[in-house]
Structure 1
Amino acid sequence: MHQLSPIAERAAAPATLPEITAGALTWRPAALDDVARVTALNNAMAEADGAPYRETEDETREELAAPWRDLEHDSLLGFDAEGELRATAFVATFPGDVTTVRAFAFGGVHPARRGAGIGREVLAWQLARARQLLAASGKELPGRIGTYAEDDDPAPRHRMYLHAGLEPRRYFSDLKRPLTDGAAAIPDVALTGSLRLVPFSNEVDDATRLAHNDAFRDHWGSQPQTMEQWTASRSEFAPEWSFVVVDDEPDVAALLADEATDASTRAALEAGAPLVVAYALNSRYAADFPVRGYSFGYTDVLGTRRAYRGRKGALAALAASMRAFAGDGMEAAVLDVDTENPSGAQGLYASLGYTKEHGSTMYTIEL
């Protein structure tokens, strides 16, 4: 295996951050008091760019208040002479990263102030700050700086990323499955052996996190989530639409003997905790309904423990989710998938009637 040089060398962090002078804005770090301002700007940008979503103040508050976020050093807000927020720059890192240390850039410029070079300088600041964070992480791992763009975003954004040295690395598809107006029947999925479908509850929350970390270990770009991360963004979470599959009689001895069983799962098994083997956790993004023109349930995460693939656990959880959506009058089921998902998810979704509505691209610098 190729020996990596120290992360501090690979990150090539600048000693000082570049100033943002374009547009004659006044800059300061973000604070929780800025939730309404940031939400309004995010939605103004989303509307101008034709994005298929809108953000609520609760979602913004969760993002800014995450315990691991350092707004004082990892954010900037740019105000015009009238005190109106016109641009934002955020950089986020994640405490659970264990195989790749990551820093992601978020933010943008109000549509009325685009074209003056603000976006380019914001991105330069974000990339410089991301390099500083990776260098200071102390994690001798591969590094990644990333950001996202909707495929329908204005072309200048994509060109700006390319010009700054970011490369298109991964592609995602936003899929829709109608639930009304003659839509195909939701399949009945029979589970075998000791597998049992149950509604999501607090009692299986951490067991579901462990299942998710195992399910996504072989997915590009995925990193384990701490419990703090797992529960941090739930303002739109719909537990009444969410389901998990548990194994009532797992072969504990075989799982403990399997080298692929991670340490956290081992500890849970030894403690007699429930073993979640598949899951579908869903949200109600009501602010997006008018934008898309229909109501929907959104599947945030869906997966199956690697040792249980092929036993239809995730399919059963997803089918139960779709029934819950339909039972509450939702017109469609929606989810997002990595187009190169290694578990064959694309084929599964196609067989269930999901079709692509939107797409997005992850741009990265690999270190």
Structure 2
Amino acid sequence: MSESATRRPLSEQLDAGPPALPQHPDVVFRPATVEDIDAVHAALVASDRLDHPTWVTPREDIADIFELSHVDVARDTLLAIAPDGAVVAMGWAMVHPTQDAELHAYLQGTVHPDWRRRGIGTQLIGWLYARASEILASTGSTAEAAIFQYVDEGNTDAVTLGERLGLRTERWFTSMQRDLSAQVDAPAAAEGIELVPYTAGRSADVLAARNDAFRDHWGSLPSTPERWEQFVGGPFLRPDLSTLALAEGRVVAFCLASVNEEDWAALGAPNTYIDLIGVVRDYRGCGLAPAVIARTLEAAKSAGLEQAVLDVDTASKTGAHRLYERLGFRPTQRQAALVRRF
């Protein structure tokens, strides 16, 4: 008998009732609508300046939520509205659409810095947790499941709120930064490997490589074509800076980089953000990761950019953070991943 067959359904492990809208004396809670995108973005930017001052949430990231087929905006989002109509807190509960082996739910949100420590965050995350639990329970699955909350280091109030709901810190992710004026010291690609820029015609091949490369990464589930196209077809990916490693035409490694000019003022320099680095599992150990990264760094430098930024799981069994250090990246800030498993 399989392990999943002996597990209790999630509906028996979680409080599956639909959450009622929270009540608070200073604000009114309601779901978000498309018309709220700009107001939500403005409040998020205000939080960004305090919680992670080196980068800014793009408006496009908020707009994308309203287009995802697995998000029911009227049921999965929550805003706190001040008496003057301003959005002062926002959040959304989301369950990853890939549910073949395990289920992952995410609690995402923030409270405007001027409105913190009034109990609004407590109401917000409690509702998000209840909604995530409801979605998980509704699947009827007996598979393993987890609820994730990512919190920037220093935001101790958010950690406390998550811990009250039973989430615990399982992992740390570190942002790393590199000065592009420094020489890149990396080996050339192995014989038979061709390094080329990303092109839209290879989108499906790169998605397949991404899902293979990240199959054994902590907290990772396969990316769906819908979400992938939002990423590679969005306004920030830079194909000219991104690098693919090909072996007889097959994508076996990749380094995908983007540019969001709104980040430049926050970071203090024109920069590229390296979104994804990966090597398919049957080509690991061939030196492909440093090769694709080096090509991307050189391309970014040639494009007039001054810094490169990436994020890494500090406990990754691939030893990625040590590789990045050897390539000249230095840690800057951290983010905790809090998890509750079922």
Q: Same fold (TM over 0.5)?
A: yes
- Using the alignment, how far apart are the partners of 2:272 and 2:25 within structure 1? 40
- The alpha-carbon deviation at position 158 of structure 1 amounts to 1.8
Q: Partner amino acid for 2:67?
A: A
- Using the alignment, how far apart are the partners of 2:212 and 2:272 within structure 1? 25
Q: Secondary structure at the match of 2:337?
A: strand
Within the alignment, does 1:81 sit opposite 2:79 as a pair? no
Correspondence for 1:163:
164
Correspondence for 1:223:
221
- The alpha-carbon deviation at position 188 of structure 1 amounts to 5.1
- Using the alignment, how far apart are the partners of 1:50 and 1:209 within structure 2? 29
Flag the 1:151–1:188 CA change in 2: closer, same or farther, 3 A.
closer
Deviations 1:16-69 (A, max 9, x none): 314311243222211222110110010111123354321222222123322322
Q: Secondary structure at the match of 2:230?
A: coil
Correspondence for 1:5:
8
Correspondence for 1:265:
none
- Using the alignment, how far apart are the partners of 1:231 and 1:243 within structure 2? 18
**Where do residues 229-248 of structure 1 align in structure 2 (5 Å cutoff)?**
229-233=227-231, 234-248=234-248
- Using the alignment, how far apart are the partners of 1:189 and 1:33 within structure 2? 50
Q: Secondary structure at the match of 1:231?
A: helix
- The alpha-carbon deviation at position 305 of structure 1 amounts to 0.5
Q: Secondary structure at the match of 1:135?
A: helix
- Tell me if the contact between 2:21 and 2:29 (Cα under 8 Å) persists in the aligned partners: no
Flag the 1:23–1:148 CA change in 2: closer, same or farther, 3 A.
farther
Correspondence for 2:152:
150
Correspondence for 1:260:
none
Determine which of 212, 215, 223 is the counterpart of 1:214.
212
Q: Partner amino acid for 1:197?
A: L
Which runs of structure 1 show a deviation greater than 6 angstroms over 4 or more consecutive aligned residues? none
Correspondence for 1:198:
196
Equivalences, count? 337
Correspondence for 1:269:
none
- The alpha-carbon deviation at position 178 of structure 1 amounts to 0.9
Correspondence for 1:17:
19
- Tell me if the contact between 1:98 and 1:223 (Cα under 8 Å) persists in the aligned partners: no
**Where do residues 23-102 of structure 1 align in structure 2 (5 Å cutoff)?**
23-102=25-104
Q: For structure 2, list consecutive stretches of 5 or more residues without a partner in the other structure.
A: none
- The alpha-carbon deviation at position 13 of structure 1 amounts to 2.5
Determine which of 295, 311, 314 is the counterpart of 1:320.
295
- Using the alignment, how far apart are the partners of 1:196 and 1:13 within structure 2? 52
Within the alignment, does 1:287 sit opposite 2:262 as a pair? yes
- Using the alignment, how far apart are the partners of 1:47 and 1:41 within structure 2? 10
- Using the alignment, how far apart are the partners of 1:152 and 1:355 within structure 2? 19
- Using the alignment, how far apart are the partners of 2:210 and 2:141 within structure 1? 23
- Tell me if the contact between 1:44 and 1:111 (Cα under 8 Å) persists in the aligned partners: yes
Q: TM-score, normalised by structure 1?
A: 0.87
- Using the alignment, how far apart are the partners of 2:161 and 2:145 within structure 1? 21
Q: Partner amino acid for 1:161?
A: G
Flag the 1:50–1:306 CA change in 2: closer, same or farther, 3 A.
closer
Q: Partner amino acid for 2:8?
A: S
Deviations 1:335-364 (A, max 9, x none): 100011111212211111111011000111
Q: Partner amino acid for 2:80?
A: G
- Using the alignment, how far apart are the partners of 1:214 and 1:344 within structure 2? 18
- Tell me if the contact between 2:186 and 2:327 (Cα under 8 Å) persists in the aligned partners: no
Q: Secondary structure at the match of 2:83?
A: coil
- Tell me if the contact between 2:257 and 2:296 (Cα under 8 Å) persists in the aligned partners: yes
- Using the alignment, how far apart are the partners of 2:112 and 2:333 within structure 1? 23
Over the matched positions of the two proteins, sequence identity in percent amounts to 28
Q: Partner amino acid for 1:6?
A: P
Flag the 1:80–1:333 CA change in 2: closer, same or farther, 3 A.
same
- Using the alignment, how far apart are the partners of 1:89 and 1:8 within structure 2? 23
- Using the alignment, how far apart are the partners of 2:214 and 2:165 within structure 1? 30
- Using the alignment, how far apart are the partners of 1:92 and 1:26 within structure 2? 22
- Tell me if the contact between 1:78 and 1:86 (Cα under 8 Å) persists in the aligned partners: yes
Q: Partner amino acid for 2:306?
A: E
- Using the alignment, how far apart are the partners of 1:55 and 1:347 within structure 2? 28
Q: Secondary structure at the match of 2:161?
A: helix
Q: Partner amino acid for 1:9?
A: E
- The alpha-carbon deviation at position 108 of structure 1 amounts to 1.9
Flag the 1:242–1:29 CA change in 2: closer, same or farther, 3 A.
same
Q: Partner amino acid for 1:295?
A: P
How much is the aligned-residue C-alpha RMSD, in angstroms?
Answer: 1.6
- Using the alignment, how far apart are the partners of 2:53 and 2:167 within structure 1? 21
Q: Which moved more, 1:164-173 or 1:24-33?
A: 24-33
- Using the alignment, how far apart are the partners of 1:135 and 1:235 within structure 2? 36
Q: Secondary structure at the match of 1:160?
A: helix
Correspondence for 1:358:
333
**Where do residues 330-349 of structure 1 align in structure 2 (5 Å cutoff)?**
330-349=305-324
